[in-house]
C-alpha cells in the first residue's frame, strides 16, 4: 500500500466556512489558504455522471429540490449551488468529479475522496468514480485516500485499485470495526471527533493506523485531539485550526 503523508489539517469539502461546500470555489479557497489536502464527496446523478455533492437531496445546497439519484446531469447543471451561501457565489455549479479532480491537481493539493453513494448505488458509485479518478489522477502524484461509510463501496475500491489507500469512515461506534478495517485493509480510520471519548480513542488508536477526526472547527478541540494521538483533523476553517496547532510536532 502506498505511503501517505497526511497533514494535520484537511479542508472539509474544500474550505466550506469560506465558500459553498464541494464546489470549485471551495477547492480554490482551500488552496488560497495554503491547505495541503481537501476532502470531497462524490455521488452519481440518475444518468450515472459522478458529481461532487454531499446530500442525497438537492434542497439544502442548491436552487433545486428532489434526489440527486432521480435527477439527470443536464438538470443538475442548471442549478445554482452558490447563492445559498452568499451573493458573491451566485452561479456556482455542482462540479463533475472530473472538474474537481482537475482543480485539485492544478492547485497541487492532496485529496481524500469520499464515496458517498445514494442508497442502493454503493457498487456503481465506487466503480464509476474510481474509473474516472484513475484515468485523471497523475501517476507520479501520491494517490488519493478513498474513504466511505459504505463497506461495499470500499470493497469495490479495494478490488479496482488495491494500491490506492482506503479510509474506513465510522460515525456510530460498532464492535466489529476492527474486523471490517482489517478486511478492507484500511489505511486510515476516520471518526467523528465531536462524539469521541478517551476510551474510544484509545481503541481506535490501538491498531496503529492513522486516525483522522471530522469535523473539527474548534481550535482547542483540534489541539486536544492531535495531542492525544490523532493524526489529522478535517475542518471547515482549516486556516484557523492550523494557526492553533502550528506549534505541535
CB atoms within 10 A of CB 85: 19
* Residue whose cell numbers read 481537501: 38
12 carries an active-site annotation: yes
Instruction: List own/partner pairs for 148-151 with CB under 8 A and 24 or more apart.
Output: 148/114, 148/115, 148/116, 148/117, 150/115, 150/117, 150/122, 150/126, 151/180, 151/184
Active-site position among 28, 54, 151, 183? 54
- Residue 187 annotated in active site: no
- Cα distance between residue 160 and residue 179, in whole Å: 21
Q: DSSP strand E in 73-203: where?
A: 110-115, 145-148, 166-170, 188-192
Q: Per the residue annotation, which of 12, 48, 183, 187 is the catalytic one? A: 12
Q: Please name the residues in contact with 106: beta carbons below 8 A apart, sequence gap of 6 or more.
A: none
In the structure, how many helices (H) and strands (E) does the chain have? 9, 9
Residues catalogued as catalytic: 12, 54
Amino acid at each position: 500500500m502506498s505511503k501517505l503523508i497526511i497533514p494535520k489539517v484537511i479542508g472539509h469539502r474544500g474550505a466550506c466556512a469560506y465558500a459553498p461546500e464541494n464546489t470549485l470555489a471551495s477547492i480554490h479557497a482551500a488552496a488560497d489558504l495554503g491547505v495541503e489536502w481537501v476532502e470531497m464527496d462524490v455521488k452519481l446523478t440518475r444518468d450515472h455522471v459522478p458529481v461532487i455533492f454531499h446530500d442525497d437531496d438537492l434542497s439544502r445546497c442548491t436552487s433545486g429540490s428532489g434526489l440527486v439519484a432521480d435527477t439527470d446531469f443536464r438538470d443538475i447543471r442548471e442549478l445554482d449551488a452558490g447563492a445559498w451561501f452568499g451573493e458573491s457565489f451566485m452561479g456556482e455549479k455542482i462540479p463533475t468529479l472530473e472538474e474537481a479532480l482537475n482543480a485539485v491537481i492544478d492547485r497541487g493539493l492532496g485529496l481524500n475522496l469520499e464515496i458517498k453513494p445514494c442508497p442502493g448505488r454503493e457498487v456503481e458509485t465506487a466503480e464509476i468514480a474510481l474509473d474516472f479518478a484513475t484515468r485523471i489522477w497523475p501517476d507520479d502524484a501520491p494517490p488519493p485516500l478513498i474513504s466511505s461509510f459504505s463497506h461495499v463501496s470500499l470493497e469495490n475500491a479495494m478490488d479496482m485499485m488495491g494500491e490506492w489507500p482506503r479510509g474506513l469512515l465510522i460515525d456510530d461506534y460498532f464492535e466489529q470495526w476492527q474486523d471490517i478495517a482489517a478486511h478492507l485493509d484500511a489505511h486510515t480510520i476516520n471518526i467523528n471527533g465531536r462524539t469521541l471519548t478517551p476510551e474510544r480513542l484509545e481503541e481506535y488508536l490501538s491498531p496503529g493506523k492513522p486516525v483522522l477526526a471530522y469535523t473539527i472547527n474548534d481550535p482547542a478541540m483540534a489541539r486536544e485531539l492531535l495531542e492525544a494521538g490523532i493524526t489529522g483533523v478535517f475542518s471547515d476553517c482549516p486556516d484557523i485550526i492550523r494557526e492553533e496547532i502550528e506549534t505541535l510536532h
